[in-house]
Amino acid sequence: MSANQLRQRQDVPEEQTWRLEDIFPTTAAFNAACNDLISRGQAIGQQQAVLLSDGATLYTVLTAYFQAEALADRIFSYGEHLYNSDMTAAAGQAAYAQAQQTITAFNTATAFVTATLPQITPAQLTAFYAAKPQLEDYAFIFAQAEKRAPHILTAAEETLLSALGQSFRAPETIYNKLNDADIDFGTMKDPHGNTIPLSKEKIYQLYQSPDRAIRKTAAEKFSAAYAKSQYAFAEALQQHVHTQNTLAHVRHYPSARAMDLTEEFIPESVFTNLVNTVHEFLPSAHKYFALRKQVLALDPLYTYDLSVPLVGEAPLKPTFAQAQEWALAALAPLGEDYLDHLREEFNNRWIDRAENAGKLSGGYEEDVFGVHPYVLLNWSNTYRAASTLAHESGHAMQSVYADASQPYWYSQYSMFIAEIASTCNESLLNHYMRTQYQDNAKVKAYLLTESVEDLLNTIFNQTKYAEFEHFMYTTDAAGESLTPETLTDKTAALDAQYDGPDVAPNPWPNVSWARIPHYYMNYYLYQYATSKAVANTLAQRMLTDPATAVPQYKAFLSAGASDYPIEIVKKAGIDMTKPDYIRETLQVFDQQVDELADLLTK
């Protein structure tokens, strides 16, 4: 094998892979669990006619249902992780397909449970509590069901929708195949003249090259790979968006955005407050791009120039072991119990870190209740990769605390607050690193740039993507097609608005809309921005007033889904229904841009 080729999965050292045996020790155990889940679903299904007959029956069925749901999560995680490790391997493909089919069968058999709960009247619930006090364990489940009642269909209709679950996920599955298994970025010459194969991670590294020709070639290769399949990517997006709009109509919501935010009990004003407040601070983003143009002495400054470090070659190139040490030191303010959990993650193969052929790109964390969280990375020796490790570990630690404090049905915290713990870790890491290099002007400027870029990417860019996502939904709802041309034109318009006059678009069509997996996650992108704003505030409090803020933060981590997300964050002292927290964070961004300008232009 050439030194420049991606390794095959079987060539990756075991210690760099996750230990899926913690979920199921053997394939036979996985198969047995699938059969068990189907049997459990059938047994629960037999209780449909008597579910609300009395409190004892309701308690028995709910207990069996949530126990089976926990098993379903294990089954899905095992199949998904095995598949994501190498999407070209037959074993992973088979396990993932089996997991999806099994869970679809289970959901079809048990869809009546969630469909029936909203039918419980207050008088019935009072009687059920009196007859079976243990039902109080599910009190918040009943409260949420009452709020969702107007959007729950009949049991037969819910069963039908559950049976179509795999079909509803098909556009995302097709996208993943296109984006990870089929796409080919080709090869190019590296700065030393060697021919190297290109991957997403490798291209990101090349974007930071001081050689502008290298950056341009990498960007062209990246864009060309997506442009080659742009019609397939556009069709996948069209089908996903149209499916969600149709589901919103079927469930009696005015829009897909209303459906997705209401499902999390989030007022739509949170979304509009974000967009409006970010628009207020676009001049701050434009000021930063003007600084980039000045420092790099590039005119025009193209989009492919926006990742090159302002201080030249990145001065920090940590190994994975060094990144772990940084994370432990940076997160020390959170207490020894937090660090113990972090060491457990690092030392027990919760992380799959090596890049290999066929592996899912990017990174994510997924919890397996009763086992432990799992983290997927594609490691490279960069500060950004170290920040990603801290980010995904933030997700993992929130899962650890929630699992330890909540029963299964309250452990799976809302997507709306999921990015707070992860981005808080990023902020703490950057703060720690800047203190370590306080007397090194070059490294300090580099780290300050990373902080500015973090806020730029997590708040400004994610808000831009959220605007684009909303455009897709409203366009489809108006009966218009999401053609590659429509998507490319809208991308160009938003880039011009957010980047300002000092950034020139790359001299080829911008099909970056095709690469973003979060467009299949139903109004998830805006939550990165709102979460980052909350996280910055919490991180600052933990650094300045740890005695008060750290216990509050631990309570936040431990809350899981035991309350409405807005209320969980309010308990930590932040009201997300108001734009103040966004404005405060963007004021910090503006100040950091000025501080960076002082360092780089004096």
pLDDT digits (tens, 9 = 90+) for 428-457: 999 999 999 999 989 999 999 989 998 999
Residue of 33, 37, 96 whose CA lies nearest to 65: 37
pLDDT > 90 in the chain, percent: 86
Does the CA dihedral 88-91-93-96 come out positive or negative?
negative
Q: What is the pLDDT of residue 78?
A: 98
Residues 538-563 pLDDT 10s: 998 899 999 999 999 999 999 999 99
One-letter-per-residue 3-state SS of 224-277: HHHHHCHHHHHHHHHHHHHHHHHHHHHCCCCCHHHHHHHHCCCCCHHHHHHHHH
Average pLDDT in the 141-146 region? 94
Of 113-122, 146-155, 406-415, the range with the lowest mean pLDDT is 146-155
pLDDT over 90 at 149, yes or no: no
pLDDT > 70 in the chain, percent: 99
Partners of 364 in beta bridges:
376
> Which one of 392, 419, 450, 469 is the catalytic residue?
392
| Cα gap 533→580, rounded to integer Å | 10
The domain ranges of the chain are: 9-156, 169-183+229-317+417-602
What's the fold here for domain 169-183+229-317+417-602?
Neurolysin; domain 3 (1.10.1370)
pLDDT over 90 at 17, yes or no: yes
Pairing mode, strands 187-189 and 351-352: unpaired
Q: What is the pLDDT of residue 158?
A: 84
Residue matched to tokens 């892979």: 17
- CATH no., domain 9-156: 1.20.140.70
Query: Residue 501, preceding bond cis, omega within 30 degrees?
Result: no
pTM: 0.81
Residues 386-406 pLDDT 10s: 999 999 999 999 999 999 999
Partners of 7 in beta bridges:
356
DSSP 137: G
pLDDT over 70 at 4, yes or no: no
Average pLDDT in the 194-222 region? 92
Examine the residue annotation and report whether 392 is marked as an active-site residue of this protein. Answer: yes
